[in-house]
Every structure is written in C-alpha cells, then in structure tokens.
Structure 1
Amino acid sequence: MLSETDRQFFKPFWRRVVATLTCAVWASIEWLYDEPMWAGFAALLTIYCVWNFFYRFEEDDADEDNSPQ
C-alpha cells in the first residue's frame, strides 16, 4: 500500500517504469551471477512494483481535468 507521499512521487509514469525496470535488471544480474537469494528478493520486489505501480495505482483525474467549463 502506497502512502500519499509515495503516490505523489510516483505519479509520473516514467518514474514507475524506471523503478520497476531497475528491480527487474537487478534480479537478472543476480540470477546471472548465481545468487538465488538476492535474485528471488529482487524478483519479489519487481512483482511488488508491478502490482502497486501498474495494477493498483490510481491517478487523480481531478488534477488533470483542465477543460474549460
């Protein structure tokens, strides 16, 4: 569960993508160097990022609604 501060920080889509890809690359490197404990940890962190940043993330439509009335 993300706090309001976390939600504001990760509101730009590119930040969520970079954070998720960083975890995925970390997991890949750990698997490559035969470190299964750290690879598993990074893989779980990647899954957590995907779940919170893409599946459950709610963007505020009220902030983006700048249409004239």
Structure 2
Amino acid sequence: MNGNDFFRPLWVRAAIVAICAAWTVFEWHNGESGWAALAGAATLYGVWSLLIAYRPHDPSP
C-alpha cells in the first residue's frame, strides 16, 4: 500500500475538505481572522488538490 491508496475513496477526500472548512468557520466565528485565513487557505488547497485535480495512482507492473 502506498500513500495514495489512503486518498482513493471520494468520501475520505471530501471529509478532509469538510473538516478544514469547519475549522475555518470555527476560527472565523471566534474572531480569529488570522487562523481563519490559514484554515481557509488549507480548505482551498484541499478542494483543488483532493477534489478537482486528484488523479488516482495507477500502479504499473
């Protein structure tokens, strides 16, 4: 098993993005705009890398 196998299921990738988005909302709600910006950047990066641009690893023998 390589590192890419962990991210293969869509629900795992969506859960990671959802947790980052919840973290963003939590920090913003508590008035921590700096941490909210950091969490928001992590959320946007997760959306891009895990949902939009993700291509499963195809092991070739």
**Band the TM-score falls in, shorter-chain normalisation:** 0.7 to 0.9
Q: Which amino acid aligns with 1:20?
A: V
| 2:21 aligned to which of 10, 20, 24 | 24
Q: Give TM-score, length-normalised by structure 1.
A: 0.76
Percent of paired sites with the same residue: 33
Q: Per-residue deviation at 1:59? A: 2.6
Match of 1:37 in 2: 34
> What TM-score do you get using the length of structure 2 for normalisation?
0.85
Where structure 2 has 5 or more consecutive residues not aligned to the other structure, the ranges are none
**Count, aligned residues:** 58
- Shift of residue 61, structure 1, vs aligned partner: 7.0
Distance in 1 (CA, whole Å) between partners of 2:58 and 2:18 is 26
Once the two structures are superposed, what CA deviation does each residue of 1:4-40 show, in whole Å capped at 9, x if it has no partner? 61x2211011100100000000000100000001000
Q: CA RMSD in A?
A: 1.7
Larger Rg: 1
- Runs of 4 or more above 6 Å deviation: none
Deviation at 1:60, TM superposition (A): 5.1
